[in-house]
Amino acid sequence: MTMFTDLIASLKRTRARAHQDAVRDWLILVTISSIALAGIIVWNVWAFDTVASGRAIGSSAPKVAPIFDPVALEAVRKVFANRAAEEAKYISGVYRYADPSQ
């Protein structure tokens, strides 16, 4: 435990005796921030160009076979066609809907 307190005390002494140069510190801060901003801008332009040209960022997804069966899909289409035919019968007047509220 005393090792940490000695380290902290030595850092405080070093900092107190150090020459403070605000211009240098701000110049370092602005330079690092400018480099980071330039990197972010370059990354975003590259990502936008990649996506706009139709390519994928990273590795492309592996091709997989369709998970549905065409026969099952045709059965679903037949069910919806039957429902549409029944709806058409109600609309055309073949079936009469008795409203119990009247």
CB 50 within 8 A of CB 57: yes
Q: Over the stretch 66-94, which tens digit does the pLDDT of each residue have?
A: 777 788 889 999 999 999 999 998 888 88
Task: Calculate the alpha carbon distances from 9 to 3, 17, 18, 36, 97 in Å.
Answer: 10, 13, 14, 34, 91
Does residue 15 surpass a pLDDT of 70? no
Average pLDDT, the chain: 84
Per-domain residue ranges for the chain?
Answer: 20-55, 67-96
Q: Over the stretch 24-49, which tens digit does the pLDDT of each residue have?
A: 899 999 999 999 999 999 999 999 99
CB 37 within 8 A of CB 29: no
Task: Calculate the alpha carbon distances from 29 to 11, 14, 24, 36, 55 in Å.
Answer: 22, 21, 9, 11, 36
**pTM across the whole model:** 0.43
Does residue 16 surpass a pLDDT of 70? no
- Alpha-carbon torsion (92, 95, 96, 99), positive or negative: negative
Q: Give residue 56's Cα distance to chain centre.
A: 14
